[in-house]
Chain A
């Protein structure tokens, strides 16, 4: 096993807690804005770490390019839909949670 493989495994296993905390945040946070925050940030960091680990283990550069393309698409898509949902919720007068 080369050092690159080992570092890739480390990155993949580091990405898993981000996915789990994203789901826990979606389940436990009080309102729509905080849930959006947990979902669209934590999950994308987790996906980024997994893609970093997988591209360290990838066979050729074409696969790496495709993995990075997938990550960029997911980033753009989730930030755009996060803004759309949050703006639409503001327009519906859903107030942010206060203590």
Chain B
């Protein structure tokens, strides 16, 4: 029963590892940031599966914080970092 959850988490971990390729050779900074967003969603799924598989309910709170931080990271990237790279911030 719990082996199923942990092996599902491993499969999603393989999806994250494949997403690393986009970080390595993404042409623009936004592509790399999208891969980071993929890490956020997949990371939440892994934490939820591990919370059930290992029986540690605390991991649900960590998943909640993880989702919040992924959102903040991508919003900060768009509002701050990506504008400064090319100069001329637009509103």
A residues apposed to B, CB below 8 Å: 1, 5, 9, 12-13, 15-16, 19-20, 22-24, 26-27, 32, 35-36, 39-40, 43-44, 46-47, 50-51, 54, 57-58, 63, 66-67, 69-70, 73-74, 76-78, 80-81, 84-85, 88-89, 91-92, 94
| Bound CA span A54–B31, Å | 31
Pair count A-B, CB < 8 A: 124
* Contacting residues, chain A, for B22 (C-beta < 8 A): 26-27, 35
Contact B90 A16 (CB under 8 A): no
B12 → chain A, closest Cβ, in Å?
5
Contact A78 B52 (CB under 8 A): no
> Per a CB cutoff under 8 Å, which of A40, A70, A89 touches B30?
A89
Q: How many residues of B contact A (CB 8 A)?
A: 44
Contact B64 A77 (CB under 8 A): no
| Bound CA span A43–B40, Å | 10
Contact A43 B48 (CB under 8 A): no
Q: Is the interface of A mostly helix, strand, loop or mixed?
A: helix
B residues apposed to A, CB below 8 Å: 1, 4-5, 8, 11-12, 15-16, 18-19, 21-22, 28, 30-31, 33-35, 37-38, 40-42, 44-45, 48-49, 52, 57, 60, 63-64, 67-68, 70-71, 74-75, 78-79, 82-83, 86, 90
Contact A85 B78 (CB under 8 A): yes
Contact B49 A54 (CB under 8 A): yes
A-B contact pairs, 15 of them (CB 8 A): A12-B8, A19-B12, A32-B31, A35-B34, A43-B41, A43-B42, A47-B45, A50-B45, A51-B48, A63-B60, A73-B68, A80-B71, A84-B78, A85-B30, A88-B78
